[in-house]
Amino acid sequence: MNNATKIEIIMDKLSKERQNHINALIEGAINKIKNNSNQNTTYNLEITERFDKEEPFQFVWLSLSFSIQNLGFAIPTPNGMANAIGTNLVITDIEIYPQSDIDGWLDHVKRIKEQEATNLLKEAEVKNNASNNKNIDNKVEVDTDDEDDRMDEQKAVEELEWLFTPLFSSPFPKEYSTDEYIKIFQRYSSIFANRIISGFINIQDEPIQSIKNKIDEALIMLTSEFDKCDFTKFSKEQLEQLGFVNWRNKTLMIPIWAYPIILKNNNGLIVIDVQGEEWVIGKEYIFTEDKNGAMMVGIPFKKVKSEVFDSTIDTYEIIAEYKRN
């Protein structure tokens, strides 16, 4: 499939309101630089936008190019005849994302912001060189704007919290013991397995959306049962029963199903990635990629010596440290 066909298919998926919204974005972007543009020069633009209403597709990313061209004929103006000038616009690529696929959209946003920062640095360097050549004693400071980056990251975390909100549907959530939580998880594991295999068997007779709805329903019931769960209160062995993956006997990598619960109940918890770097739950955006059955971060633990009767045995202790500020 070439990009022209892809773009046509994606645009057809959007409502008329969304298509008009995108056209207005493109027109606004072009008008911003049109007056200062040079003829026969191609300008490449990227646009990202989050729609503000609940629809199947919540985010859009556009790549486009345009140029100002002499059209080769004259048109009448109040001041006489003038060469006709037109805009040549080409949408080169487009992606749309449902609200459940925020990672892809944020990846585009991050890349564009990095490109903007690079352009600002280049622009500042040019200005600085010009100032030095004129012997003007002034400084061109390039503010990488760490505070803005932190605000953007916090906004991404809030987007994820908003995305996970429907997973906790119980009006009166109950807190269970660690052993009870494990039994609940085992029960729902069986429900998930049965619903998935049922969907596989009945794929010809049952709509895909119906199968997905049944799995979504089971997920909401599971996470609602874990509404008040604090995974840092579990032992290493118990967390492994819940799908946490032991990484080099140092970290229990978080299974994706548990992340909404941790984000809700363990704000500020310090987790560790596979490189040993620290991340803070609720303060930094963490991609929910599935790596070998779990995310790229996990809860650290350590080996401790315990005295049992006359013997010393190795046990494991979960490290639950928080960064509140």
Amino acid found at 170 = S
Do the beta carbons of residue 253 and residue 294 sit within 8 Å?
Answer: yes
Using the CB atoms, write b or e for 200-211: b if 16+ within 10 Å: eeeeeeeeeeeb
Predicted local distance difference test score (pLDDT) of residue 265: 96
Residue 136 reports pLDDT greater than 60: no
Strands 270-273, 80-98: parallel, antiparallel or unpaired by DSSP?
Answer: unpaired
Mean pLDDT of the chain: 79
3-state secondary structure 179-201: HHHHHHHHHHHHHHHHHHHHHHH
pTM for the whole structure: 0.56
Summarised one tens digit per residue, pLDDT across range 8-54 is 887 888 888 888 888 888 887 777 766 666 766 777 777 777 765 55
Give the model's pLDDT for residue 158. 85
How do residues 91-110 score in pLDDT, each as one tens digit?
A: 777 777 776 566 666 666 66
Task: State residue 216's pLDDT score.
Answer: 86
Higher pLDDT, 98 or 113: 98
Tokens matching residue 92:
């080169």
Query: Is residue 138 predicted with pLDDT exceeding 50?
Result: no
Compute the distance between CA of residue 136 and CA of residue 125 in angstroms, rounded to an integer: 15
CA angle 176, 253, 111 (to 5 degrees): 120
Once rounded to an integer, what is the mean pLDDT over residues 212-233? 92
Is the pLDDT confidence value at 219 over 70? yes
Per-domain boundaries in the chain: 3-100, 166-318
Q: Reply yes or no on whether the pLDDT at 174 is more than 80.
A: yes
Give a three-class secondary structure readout of 140-179: CCCCCCHHHHHHHHHHHHHHHHHHHHHHCCCCCCCCCCHH
CA-CA distance, 100 to 160, in Å (whole number)? 9
- Tokens representing residue 170 in the block: 């119980």
Which is higher by pLDDT, 168 or 116?
A: 168
Q: Residue 274's pLDDT is what?
A: 87
pLDDT(301) > 60? yes
Give the mean pLDDT of 183-197. Answer: 92
CA distance linking residue 270 with residue 283, whole number of Å: 10
State both tokens at 86: 């037109």
Return d(Cα 215, Cα 205) in angstroms, integer.
17
Q: What is the pLDDT of residues 243-275, one digit of tens each?
A: 999 998 999 999 999 999 999 999 999 999 988
